[in-house]
Chains A and B, each alone.
Chain A
Amino acid sequence: MTDKAGSSFHLESGERLELLTFKVGGRQKFGINVLKVKEIIPCPSLTSVPQSHPAVIGVTHLRGHTLTIIDLAQAIGRTPLRDTACKSSGGSVIVTEFSRKMQGFLVESVDRIAYCEWKNVLPPPAGAGSRSYITGVTEIEGELLEIIDVEKVLGEVVGLEASMVDTGELSPEALEVIKGKRVLVVDDSSLALNQTRRTLEMLGLECLTARDGKEALDILNDLAASGAVNIDLVVSDIEMPELDGYTLTREIRGNAALQGLYILLHTSLTGAINTEMAAEAGANACLTKFDPDDLAKAAVNGLS
């Protein structure tokens, strides 16, 4: 699947994935990227807020922040945990930070941290439907582990950030220059993929989409082989099954026919480490999801 140049990178941390595994009732184990997790706490005392989304079980105060707690089981269509996990104790709340937001997810039990590699994470099978709540599947010690699409869960529960761009902030000349240019948008979360696409299309850009790094690389390699690379910008997520964003970037940089591409890595994780690793892999810029104005500026900047 990977060529020689790629295999040496497997030792680098960018390709490793640490998953916090947990259960939400039943035997199936689920996982969430450790980089999205801030801490794990026992089910705290909750204040219920009137007119909340049904999956929101309340808010709590944690070290100076108010935190919305979401019943993860209920949010993904399983039997709600709130009455069992919270009352008989034993339930845990995974406190997370991603997409510029902090929130807690109630789960039945937290298991452990498992290590794997992105190339061993497979996208959900086509039969699972595009509306499933998983972004990938992997095997840990003979057991199937499903990685939850927490962006999708959060988007459905607390609502989508608007993907509207304030085009008034951008100069008309700049918009004229980028008009009709083609962008490849890569993201394993259908929600993030659509958000990004909508924003870029609002700028007058034409978008192609891919669900993971491998699909993106196949598209680009086909274009390179045909000798007509009609794409100017790649906007890619970092954490993706099969081929992650860093590896995708390195693969693109290793192909002479794809030299002109501007690569923008787009992650839901917060932190300076991503910027450094993105630069090291050869990306032109790195951005935290999801701010339509920032994305628009970065895209205009990359295409001008």
Chain B
Amino acid sequence: MNQTSAAQGETMSRWVTFSLENETYGIDVMQIREVIRGAEISPIPGAPHYVLGIINLRGNVVAIIDTRSRFGLPSREMDDASRILILEAGDYVVGFLVDGVSEVAELRNELVESAPDTGSGEASKFISGLYNREEGLLILIDANRLLSDEELAEISSF
């Protein structure tokens, strides 16, 4: 019954959920080009601290961001569950390393809550909202705001 009413009046959106440390995050499927298994990442000497290195993605060189460092979390070795989200941010294609990718969740847009004020100003502006599910709160991320314009420019020079 719920599903019928959802189909009639509400707008839904689809989000890829991924995990980092103990929390679950969501990113709009429209902003994700693909999800790949942890590939061989070649480190780049002198790169910014949040850049893990580069990979060769079917002939294209893509910079890989350490999402943990971006989010202020302790770093961790890659394992079998690790995935790289290839995102389209502005004109650039960038990879973000995460602990694991879980599913594609359908969210009702009207239930998305605005991001809470946690006192970090600029640092957390990539959080676009929160979504309450039975499994717990999902933190929604806007891929376009994960990197600043300066950072994107810096990365694009690789």
Q: Which residues of A contact B (CB under 8 A)?
A: 45, 47-53, 55-56, 59-61, 65-68, 101, 157-159
B45 on interface, CB distance cutoff 8 Å: no
Evaluate contact between A49 and B139: CB separation under 8 angstroms.
Answer: yes
With A61-B137, A66-B137: A50-B117 Cβ-Cβ less than 8 Å: no
Instruction: Provide the B105-129 mask, 1 if CB < 8 A to any CB of A, else 0.
Output: 0000000010011111101100100
With A59-B130, A66-B113, A66-B130: A47-B136 Cβ-Cβ less than 8 Å: yes
B72 on interface, CB distance cutoff 8 Å: yes
Evaluate contact between A48 and B116: CB separation under 8 angstroms.
Answer: no
**Residue of chain B at shortest CB distance from A159:** B119
Shortest C-beta distance, A43 to chain B (Å), equals 15
Q: What's the A-B contact tally at a CB cutoff of 8 Å?
A: 65
Task: Give the contacting residue for B120; candidates A47, A53, A59, A101; CB below 8 A.
Answer: A53
Evaluate contact between A49 and B118: CB separation under 8 angstroms.
Answer: yes
State the CA gap A65–B116 with chains docked (Å): 10
Task: Give the contacting residue for B119; candidates A45, A47, A56, A65; CB below 8 A.
Answer: A56
State the CA gap A234–B70 with chains docked (Å): 48
Evaluate contact between A67 and B119: CB separation under 8 angstroms.
Answer: no
Task: Give the contacting residue for A49; candidates B70, B113, B124; CB below 8 A.
Answer: B124
What are the residues of chain A within 8 A of B130 when measuring CB–CB?
Answer: 47, 59, 61, 66
What are the residues of chain A within 8 A of B72 when measuring CB–CB?
Answer: 50-51
**Residue of chain B at shortest CB distance from A49:** B118
What are the residues of chain A within 8 A of B113 when measuring CB–CB?
Answer: 65-66
Q: How many residues of B contact A (CB 8 A)?
A: 23
Task: Give the contacting residue for A52; candidates B21, B119, B132, B137; CB below 8 A.
Answer: B119
State the CA gap A56–B124 with chains docked (Å): 13
Instruction: Provide the B55-74 mask, 1 if CB < 8 A to any CB of A, else 0.
Output: 00000000000000011110
State the CA gap A66–B127 with chains docked (Å): 14
Evaluate contact between A56 and B118: CB separation under 8 angstroms.
Answer: yes
Evaluate contact between A159 and B117: CB separation under 8 angstroms.
Answer: yes
Shortest C-beta distance, A102 to chain B (Å), equals 10
A-B contact pairs, 22 of them (CB 8 A): A47-B23, A47-B136, A49-B116, A49-B124, A50-B20, A50-B70, A50-B71, A50-B72, A50-B124, A50-B127, A51-B72, A52-B118, A52-B119, A52-B120, A59-B130, A59-B137, A66-B113, A66-B132, A68-B119, A158-B117, A159-B117, A159-B119
Shortest C-beta distance, A2 to chain B (Å), equals 40
With A52-B124, A59-B130, A66-B130: A47-B139 Cβ-Cβ less than 8 Å: yes
State the CA gap A55–B119 with chains docked (Å): 9
What are the residues of chain A within 8 A of B71 when measuring CB–CB?
Answer: 50-51
Q: For A51, A52, A66, which residue has the most chain B Cβ atoms within 10 angstroms?
A: A51
Evaluate contact between A51 and B123: CB separation under 8 angstroms.
Answer: yes
**Residue of chain B at shortest CB distance from A61:** B132
Task: Give the contacting residue for B117; candidates A47, A55, A68; CB below 8 A.
Answer: A68
State the CA gap A48–B23 with chains docked (Å): 7
Evaluate contact between B119 and A53: CB separation under 8 angstroms.
Answer: yes
State the CA gap A67–B139 with chains docked (Å): 14
State the CA gap A55–B121 with chains docked (Å): 14
**Residue of chain B at shortest CB distance from A48:** B23
B22 on interface, CB distance cutoff 8 Å: yes
Evaluate contact between A47 and B137: CB separation under 8 angstroms.
Answer: yes
Evaluate contact between A45 and B121: CB separation under 8 angstroms.
Answer: no
State the CA gap A143–B119 with chains docked (Å): 34
Evaluate contact between A68 and B116: CB separation under 8 angstroms.
Answer: yes
Evaluate contact between A51 and B120: CB separation under 8 angstroms.
Answer: yes
